[in-house]
Structures are given as structure tokens and as C-alpha cells.
Amino acid sequence: MEEEMLYVEGTSMCMGDGVNSEDSYCAEMEIEENEIGSPKNEIQRLTSEKGEGSNVVFSREGPLVSKESRRCGVYRCGAKKLKSHVVVIESEIGNKENIGHDRKLTKQDRIDLGRLFQGAVSSHDWELAESLILLADPQTLNDTLCITLDSIWFLSTQQELHGITGLIKKIIANGAYDFTRAALRTSFLASCVSACQSRTMSLADTVTVMAQRLHERLQECNGDEVLKAEAGAKVQKFTEWALKCIGFHSRCQGNRERVSHNSAIEIQLQLSAFKTFLDLAGNQLTGKDFTEAFDAACFPLTLFSSSFDPGWASGISATAIQGLLGMLVEGGADNVNQCFLEASRFGSTELVRILLQIAQRNSLDVDVDLALGFASHYCKIGTMECLVEEGNAIAFLGPLMRAAERGCMQVLQWFVNRGCRDMELCLALTAATSSSQVDVAAYLLPHVPQHVLAALSIEILKAAGERSGGSLDGVAFLLRSDFLGDPAASYAVADTIARSDDEAVAPELRAFLQEHWSEAAFLDGLRQGEEHYMNLVRILNWGGSPMCIRDLPGPLKVAIAYLPLYRECVAAGGSLFSQRLRGQLVEAVRRLGGGSLEGVSQGKELLAILEHHLPPFLVNTHSIG
């Protein structure tokens, strides 16, 4: 099918003669019939997730104005020249005998007519614009409908409202039928206008922010890199078109670098114009169309969210997009929850706030708890606060456990500071232990009450072992930390699991505890210590080394015998040593003449006695805290 082009340009009447020709056009779109929709769908095609929207896409930005048009400078001339050019075009079209609704303009005719129509609308020459409508074929009428509808977000007076709505009525009466494309395109543009009013920054900065956010969003999508690049290029071109359109209208209003802020009265005029369009479209716009338009309006806000000032959603700049989204919901958009979840995922806090308000006003259900899960997974702290404080999200357990499993300390600390139930903290500790997130487990352990740990100690270790994925570092950390606050109790729990024949105990966990933390492991440590001592005695008595170890100073003889054991204990750290290490330490201290070991049979006390017998230059001075 032949691709047809629409050029939407502004005149120099509002700008002065020094404006660069590249800046003088408001929009240049390449039209592809029956393929209309939202830029977000280009990204959604990269994933396997099926959304509620259709498979249609926005038209792509077309080439710039033809060289002939630039040379003649028609788009920069005054009203008289515009009208004289209309006479020429009218004569050319009439000579071709393409009269009536069946006529079809050539590509060049459509380019010229579209350019002149934009010039007339920009200069508020409603009479000239209406005369051009009479020359348009059905497809060009669709183009003029888009041009006119786009301009409503920049009108500021009652006279402009009357002129624009009059044009919309006349265009529709003359046969424009593509309401879907007009609704999607203007919804996208309206969102960009509201977003650009979020703060005082130049349009060049806005383009940079948009490009960066678009790149980040594409990186978070799955799919082929080539397809991602193509989708990104299409979406970026359309967004840049919207920003160029905004820039053109800003310059017409005397703001060369920044987007002007609309007053409440101006916003009401703009929303009134959009409501007029919806009323005229009637049932020509389906629920699916309203859903796609809602999606198109939300998409730019996720790209610009990082540039929003806190509280933007409750300010005047957001009034227009709030009104637009509200009308789309009234028309039948059913994807509020989907857009709400996506905004939460990407940390678009102000959009989340707007969608919460829309859902409340329209008695719609949005899943704030699932949204909290998305926001916490991607560490969007500001969005999490909004969902809890304004959306009343209360389901902390799932996000808390997933943060513990991933080791996301920032999210974890946020939940703990917000206030979690004892059982939630205990389950999060179990999740961190099973994933060997030692730092997270160390943070959570003091927050779990001792009576909860004591009651669930066996289940905590069993669950951690079952979901460990091969690493039991988390289990070892809990035991070394004396997680029950009583060495005898911590050792007893480990021994109970080691001796258990319960099939629910993971074999790897049972074997690990039997080897290192059971009573049997302690006895084995004593035996190893005794064998080690006997070997040393044999060396002293019958060794054939030229160096007589017996004649060395006592501390050096102790170092030869027990320095490896000392270093292994220091490396293990924690409040408790494993039963195997503890058995070896007990035997070593007994052989060194440590006296009565009653009351000093646990980690640090035993290590201190051994350290006392070692040469000072071999001692780790930070080993005993």
C-alpha cells in the first residue's frame, strides 16, 4: 500500500523572521493506514507478556519539508500569501477533475495542503482553514483532524476554543473518519505537554531525559537486541515529534526555551475542546480505542517521571492529564490497573498518584499490594512510600522476603523502618539464610524477638536448608552468631536436626550439621585433637630433624603445634565455633595446661587461652573482641 505523507508546519507569524526552518514545523508524520496505536506497544512486542491493549502502533515520523517548499518559503509567509497559495492549489486540484468524496489527492497535493492548513490553524485564520477543508480528500481530512486536535492543548482563549471546535465539527462533517488515530496521537501529545510543564527545564534537557529513560526501559525488556533497537528508534522518533510540536507552540507563545505553564482556565478550555471531539466521535470510538488512548497518555509520563518535582500530580501542571485520563476512563478504558502496575514497576510515582486518584473517583480496583511488589523489586523507594501512604498497601511479607532473598538492603531497611510483624521478620530472616545473604541475615537477626527464634529455631534451619540451593553459608552464619542467644540451645538445635530421621530435612543440611555442629562432631574434634597431640609427642621423641624442637622456646613449640588451629578459628569468626573446632580447641587447651575448663568451654574463652600461649608476633590482636 502506498505510503502517504502529512506535513504539519507553522508559519512565521508568531515567531519572527529569524527562526530556523527546521524549527518552524510542528509535526511531520508518515501515515500508514490501518496501523495506528501506541509507542509502548513497540516495547511490549519485545516481551512475552500480553497486555490489554491492541497490537497497533503509532505512525512514524516522516522526512522533513521538501526542498521546493523550503525554497519558496510558503510556510513562513503571511496570511495573504497563504491565501494566494490556496488559490493555486485549488486551481490545480480542480483541473485534475477529482471532485467529490471519491477524489484522491497526490502526495504533493497532500503535502502542500497539510502545510497550509497547519499554517492557518497556527495563525488562527479559521476562515482560511475551513476553505482548505473543502479541498481535502478523505485521507487528508483525517490528517487535518489530527492537526486540529493536537492544537487544542495549546489554546488559551475562548475565541481559540470556538475556532478549533468549529474546525473539528466541519472536518468530521466533511468525511473524516479516523477517530482512533486522532485520539491516540493527541493523548500522547497531551501527556508530553503536561510532563514538560513539570519543572523549569529547557526542551533540549527534556529530550535528553526522555532518551535516557527510554534506553533504561528498553534495557529492562527481554528480547533480541536488534528488535529492541528498532523499537527504541520508533518510539524515540515519535516522542521527539511531540517535543518538536511543543517547542513550536511554545515559541508561538513567546517562550523560546521553556514550556509555558497553563492556567486553570486555559486547561478547562483545552479539556472542553477534547470533550467536544469525544462527543462528535460518539460510538465511532470503541472501548478498545479508549484503552489504547489511555495507554498512550500514560506512556510518556513513565519516561519523564525522573524529572518531576515531588507533588507534581497535585499541581496545576497535571490537571490536564488528569482530566484527559478521567474522560478516557468514562469512555471505556479498562486498563487502569495495568498502567498502574507498570507505573509502579518503573518508579513513576507521580503517575501512580494520579492513577490512584482516578481509580478512587471512578470506584475502580487497582492492586496496590501487587504494585508494591513491583516497586520494591526494582527498588523504587518513592513509589513504595506513595503506595503505602496513599494507596494503603499492607502486604509487606512477599516484597520483604524477596528483598531478603536478593540481598536488597535498601528495600529491606525501608520495610523494617516502616514496621513489620515479628513473623514477617522471622520469615525474611529465613529467606536471607536460605539464599546465603549473610549481610541481610546479620541485619535482620537483632530485629527478630528471641522467643520467636526459640519457638521456630528448628523450622528456620530446616527451611533454610531445603531452599539453600547448595550453599549452607547462611545456616553456618546463624549458628556461629549464636542466633538463640544461648550457646547450649544453639548447639542443641543443630544436634537435634543432625540426628533427626525426618524426611523433611534436606540431606545436605543433615550431613553438614553432622560433620560440623553435632555432638558427634564435638567428640570427633576431641579425637582429632588427641591424635594431633600424640603425633607431636612422637616427633619430639623420635624425630630425626637436625633442629631439636624440644630445645625451642615454649611459645614457638606451641606455635608449631597449634598455629593452624588458631588461624582456622580466627577465620571462622562469630560467637560460637563449630562443634568440630570446639572439640579441637578443648583438647588443645587441656594439653596446654589450661586448668579447669568449666564455664570456659565456648569459643572466645577457649581461643583466649590458646592465644595466651602463642608468641605475640603471631597473634591476631583483633581476633578476640
Which residue, among 111, 121, 19, has the nearest Cα to 62 in the 3D structure? 111
Q: Tell me which residue has cell 506535513.
A: 7
- Pick from 552, 54, 531: which is nearest to 292 by CA? 54
DSSP code string of 226-238: HHHHHHHHHHHHH
Sign of CA dihedral 515, 518, 524, 528: positive
Residue 437, Ramachandran bin (φ over 0: left; ψ between -120 and 50: alpha; else beta): beta
**Model confidence pLDDT, tens digit, residues 69-118:** 333 333 344 445 555 555 555 555 555 444 445 568 888 888 889 889 98
pLDDT value at residue 73: 37
**CA nearest neighbour of 89 among 120, 49, 47, 57:** 120
The string of pLDDT tens digits covering residues 164-207 is 999 999 999 999 999 999 999 999 999 888 877 765 556 666 66
Quote the pTM value: 0.78
Contact 373, 340 (CB under 8 A): no
Weakly modelled stretches of the chain, pLDDT under 50 = 1-37, 43, 45-79, 96-100, 256, 622-625
**CB 127: neighbour CB atoms within 10 A?**
10
- Indicate the residue type of 578: S
Adjacent-strand bridge partners of 561: none
> 138 Cβ partners below 8 Å, 6+ apart?
101, 175, 176, 177
Whose cell is 492529564? That residue is: 321
State the first-to-last Cα distance of the chain, in angstroms, to the nearest integer. Answer: 80
Closest listed residue to residue 568, CA positions, set 508, 495, 511, 623 = 623
**Which three cell numbers mark 355?**
492513577
* DSSP string of 14-75, one letter each residue: TT-TT--GGGSEEEEEEE-TT----HHHHHHTTSS---SS-S--PPEE-----HHHHHHTGG
Question: Would you state the pLDDT for residue 86?
Answer: 52
Which sign does the torsion angle of CA 173, 178, 181, 183 carry? positive
**pLDDT on residue 613:** 81
Measured in residues, the chain has a length of 625
